[in-house]
Amino acid sequence: MALPHLTSAIPFLTEAGLETTAYHTYKIDLPCSSGTTLLTSESGRELVRSLYKSYANIAASSGTGILLATRTWRASSAWAKPLNYSEDELRDLNYAAVHFLKQVRNEVNKTNPAVRIVLDGVVGPLRDAYEDYSSDEISVDSAKEAYRGQIRTLVEEGVEIISLMTVTNLHEAIAVVELSKEMQIPVAVSFSLESDGKLLSGLSLENAIQTVDKATDGYTTYFGINCVHPARILQPLENMDLDVRQRIGLIRGNASLKSHEELDNSDTLDRGHIPTFVSALKQVLLLLPGIRVVGGCCGTDEEHLTALAQQCLS
């Protein structure tokens, strides 16, 4: 049975920048920028619950559904030591993240049964997303071993799709797709792009999509772009072959026009200019006939998501 956002006439929403909201707005320290740590305290869980419900209400008001993501972007075995967890503890947190998201979906559907919520099992890069490490430094097989336990846990607990977010390393992308195929679950691969519209390595988005598709027999359900302002990707999309553009089904834009380096070295949140963000996103969506999911990334919040829903999904 196809997931509802794959057959919907209107794209589904997904989240805004939950981790940047937690860190900058609510002043919660997030080791390694990992939202997983929010699930270890009652106050953290209540914040995540509140934001999940806010996002779902925006989707409901817009007449569409929403993909809500597990807080597991940095919860693969590669992040156990940096986060000061054992691998068993991190595995348990992956289970807890899905269980918690299921609880929230049930709570939302009790008050609004018409809201369609897809449980999105999110995984992320094995190293810092802003670090340029070549595919020579990590093989597909070693990446599969690093991801296998996490993806198995997410699938066993009941997520409906696996989404690899902010990836720049093609071996990691291929590994996640191959594992998802092995475990018979849909998978999305979303690349993080720089201000020039290319991956950190300088590879074009078009080449990245083609390489992953060729290596995995086109198993990826759709590709995505996240962690870059939508204005930065207009030209690369305009120059892209239509057959490749049709493979892009997800856009999650940053609020700020700043580069990753500028954002990484900033102590303050740049929420950008919402009308500029929405205007650029509308132009991007016109170039993507296969779009399925739209949302925000770093620096975006409920105001961005509301404006996006009202102006881009109507």
Contacts of 62 (CB under 8 A, 6+ apart): 13, 309, 310, 313
In contact, 262 and 255? CB cutoff 8 Å: no
Contact in structure between 258 and 249 (CB atoms under 8 Å): no
Euclidean distance between CA atoms 93 and 103, whole angstroms: 15
CA nearest neighbour of 189 among 205, 204, 167, 171: 167
Binding residues: 227, 297-298
> Can you tell me the distance from the alpha carbon of 154 to that of 180, in angstroms, rounded to the nearest whole number?
11
CA dist 46 and 56 (Å) reads 15
Encoded tokens for 230: 């939508």
First CA to last CA distance, the chain: 27
Tokens of 140: 């597909």
**Tokens read off for 54:** 């806010």
CB 93 within 8 A of CB 85: yes
Rounded CA gap, 230 and 197, in Å?
A: 10
Residue numbers in the known binding site for Zn(2+) are 227, 297-298
Phi, psi (5° rounding) for residue 18? -60, -45
Rounded CA-CA distance 59/240 in Å is 30
